[in-house]
Amino acid sequence: MGATAKTVTATDWRADFPALDQSVHGQPLVYLDSAASAQQPAAVIDAVASYQREDHANVHRGVHTLSHRATEAYEGARDKVRDFINAKSRSEIVLTSGTTESINLVAQSFCRPRLQPGDKILITHLEHHANIVPWQLVCEQTGAELVVAPINERGEVELDSLLGLIDDRVFLIGMAHISNALGTVCPVEKVIEHARQRGIPVLIDGAQGVPHLDVDVQALDCDFYAFSGHKMFGPTGTGVLYGREAILDAMPPWQGGGDMILEVSFDKTIYNELPYKFEAGTPNISGVVGLGAAVDYLQSIGMQTIARYEQKLHDHMVARLSNVDGMRLIGQARRKASVQSFLLDDIHSHDLGTILDHQGVAIRTGHHCAMPVMQYFGVSGTCRASLAFYNTHDDIDRLVAALDKARELFA
Amino acid sequence: MSDAAPDMQDLYRELVIDHSRNPRHFGRLEDATHTADGINPLCGDKLRLYFRVDASGTIESSSFEGSGCAISIASASLLTEAVTGLEVDDAKSCSATISTRLTTAAPYANLDAHLENLKALDGVRAYPSRVKCATLAWHALQAALTNDTQPATTE
């Protein structure tokens, strides 16, 4: 960013991502699968490489120089994440392997010791399997019940129905910030407000929220917020569990091992303080360094700039797709971000995925780890185009042209 | 997109599109003596194959039902045409022949006349992620004729 005012465009951002600069089947790549995993900017790739080349050692252990550098880099990334989501304290940032581990941690460490038979975990019909199955497991273990708030034909969570399901037996509410399959932006603010009034903790699955919205966990006032590094342009195998400090403090450790202890004897082990209590074993240090670089990169653009740009591109994509003959849009929520699921004529999503790939257009096909959503819409799977700020109007034109080609082939 | 087109048509050959659009022997077979399910959990493809085998061990009739992509439906449809009239053992060896043909890099062997149409599936070799679509029905055939109770899967 120079001192002179310069309009930065998506084309400039795109140039920051080396993987986007390639041809697939002889066509320039159009990557519309960022909801599955986003590409990484050179800044992230270089940060990881430079850490591996120059600074690697184990963290929190040695007195030697490399161990100190590794610890600084790792803990520095935690501070960046804290700032990124505006958590009150770095103690509230637990580094995990991803959203999935973050949610399992809450299910097993927070819920399992406290749940009584007949208690309820309340989720919604549009959740990713990662925000369904951990609750099913803990329900089986404790005799608690999983309750599911309905969605409507637009793919929106029915707020009144959800609030109507809240009673004294609801122990925790878990819901997505943005649906990975449908793009629905869920009314998390209202749910959290009601839940707070009744003293019910709320976990937000922010895997799709953090890459697209300016997330402020203090403003949201949620108790837990879970997300993944690789969906926000960082490395795979990294993730975050934000938890309110008082709640995390009261939770027992999730896994035992090195790093999560202060003192171990065969009589008694004293656990480490937050957040280390939840980080047993040597962590994914280089990945977390990359996550920190991803935060720096996103902040250099600004999440509000990203959200504004993406919203326009999303609306353009939806408008263009709506005009394709034989198009069935799945997920037409009034508040929606970055994702459009669809089916074209009676072409199976995998056939369409292969045909588009042949034209250099990468989309996701299948059930998107959200089988209950597919069941609701009576389909076995959908095609899903998902955007990031490195996508452009050209990408949408290529998608639409590729769909026209598919219709010709199957005509 | 002209350079992409010929390859695509190698996968989605006319016969494949035709069989996926108008599957032969589609539906439940009454009096089936052998049946098996084929499921691809990752794709969501689900097929059920039915065979009626007479006292002499010949497949009198075949059918299938289910849902899946064009490749898996066309493969199942072509299968029912190819194995009807065969001895059970011949049908099983035909299944092995096709599975090998689709999953190895070996040069294509000649096929008997009754299997000639199955060459239409040859295009999938170039698409590793789609091979399992084409082999699903053949795994189910093996399961049905050996009376496996577990659904066949290509995962």
Query: What are the tens digits of pLDDT across the range A196-226?
Result: 999 999 999 999 999 999 999 999 999 999 9
Half-sphere exposure of residue B125, counting CA atoms within 13 Å on the CB side? 18
Q: Per DSSP, what are the bridge partners of residue A249?
A: none
Q: Do A350 and B42 touch (CB under 8 A)?
A: no
Both tokens of residue B85?
């009239």
In the predicted structure, residue A291 carries a pLDDT above the cut 90: yes
Name residue A23's amino acid. Answer: S
Residue A111 is a catalytic residue: no
Cα–Cα separations (whole angstroms), residue A95 to A196, A232, A324, B17, B74 = 25, 15, 43, 49, 48
Residue A14 phi, psi (nearest 5): -55, -40
- Residue A219 burial (10 A CB sphere; 0-12, 13-18, 19+): exposed
> What confidence tier does A258 reach under pLDDT thresholds 50, 70, 90?
confident
DSSP of A190-243: HHHHHHHHTT--EEEE-TTTTTTS---HHHHT-SEEEEESGGGTS-TT-EEEEE
Q: Do A410 and B12 touch (CB under 8 A)?
A: yes
Half-sphere exposure of residue B64, counting CA atoms within 13 Å on the CB side? 34
Q: What is the pLDDT of residue B154?
A: 67
pLDDT digits (tens, 9 = 90+) for A176-194: 999 999 999 999 999 999 9
The closest of B22, B67, B31 to B47, measured between CA atoms, is B67
Cα–Cα separations (whole angstroms), residue A2 to A5, A13, A133, A305 = 7, 15, 48, 17
Residues of A in contact with B11 (CB under 8 A): 354
Q: What is the CATH number of the domain that holds B136?
A: 3.90.1010.10
Residues of A in contact with B67 (CB under 8 A): 380
Q: Per DSSP, what are the bridge partners of residue A205?
A: A176, A226
> What confidence tier does A1 reach under pLDDT thresholds 50, 70, 90?
very low
How many angstroms separate the CA atoms of A188 and A226, rounded?
14
- Please state whether the peptide bond connecting residue A275 to the residue before it is cis, i.e. omega within 30 degrees of 0: yes
> What confidence tier does A11 reach under pLDDT thresholds 50, 70, 90?
confident
Q: What is the pLDDT of residue B110?
A: 85
The closest of B65, B64, B74 to B17, measured between CA atoms, is B74
Q: Do A354 and B4 touch (CB under 8 A)?
A: no
How many angstroms separate the CA atoms of B3 and B21, rounded?
26
Q: What is the pLDDT of residue B22?
A: 95
The pLDDT > 70 percentage for chain A reads 98
Reported ipTM: the value is 0.85
pLDDT digits (tens, 9 = 90+) for A219-241: 999 999 999 999 999 999 999 99
How many angstroms separate the CA atoms of A51 and A260, rounded?
24
Q: What is the pLDDT of residue B89?
A: 94
Residues of A in contact with B42 (CB under 8 A): 366
> What confidence tier does A63 reach under pLDDT thresholds 50, 70, 90?
confident
The stretches in chain B having pLDDT less than 70 are 1-6, 148-151, 153-155
Domains of chain A and CATH, by start? 10-31+302-409 (3.90.1150.10), 46-300 (3.40.640.10)
Candidate from B4, B17, B42 with C-beta closest to A358:
B4
* Three-class SS state of A159: helix
The pLDDT > 90 percentage for chain A reads 90
Contact A175, A143 (CB under 8 A): no
Q: What is the pLDDT of residue B148?
A: 60
Which residues of A sit within 8 Å Cβ distance of B? 25-27, 347-351, 354-355, 358-360, 366-367, 374, 380-381, 401-402, 405, 409-410
- What pTM was estimated for this model as a whole? 0.92
Contact A365, A349 (CB under 8 A): yes
More confident residue, B102 or A30: A30
Both tokens of residue B25?
């022997």
Q: Which residue of B has its CA nearest to A352?
A: B69
> What confidence tier does A171 reach under pLDDT thresholds 50, 70, 90?
very high
Cα–Cα separations (whole angstroms), residue A204 to A93, A387, B111 = 15, 21, 57
Average pLDDT of A157-163? 97
Q: Per DSSP, what are the bridge partners of residue A225?
A: A204, A242
Residues of A in contact with B1 (CB under 8 A): 27, 359, 401-402, 405
pLDDT digits (tens, 9 = 90+) for A340-350: 999 999 999 99
The set of residues, in sequence order, having a beta carbon less than 8 Å from that of B61 and lying 6+ positions away, is B25, B29, B51, B52, B84
Average pLDDT of A374-385? 94
Task: State the residue range of the domain holding B104.
Answer: 5-153
The set of residues, in sequence order, having a beta carbon less than 8 Å from that of A331 and lying 6+ positions away, is A154, A155, A179, A181, A182, A183, A184, A339, A340, A341
How many angstroms separate the CA atoms of B142 and B148, rounded?
8
In the predicted structure, residue A2 carries a pLDDT above the cut 50: no
In the predicted structure, residue A6 carries a pLDDT above the cut 70: no
Total domain count for chain B? 1
Q: B56: distance to nearest CA of chain A, Å?
A: 40
Contact A13, A344 (CB under 8 A): no
Q: A19: distance to nearest CA of chain B, Å?
A: 21
The set of residues, in sequence order, having a beta carbon less than 8 Å from that of A76 and lying 6+ positions away, is A292
Both tokens of residue A242?
């934000």
Beta-carbon count within 10 A of A138 CB:
22
How many angstroms separate the CA atoms of A387 and A157, rounded?
22
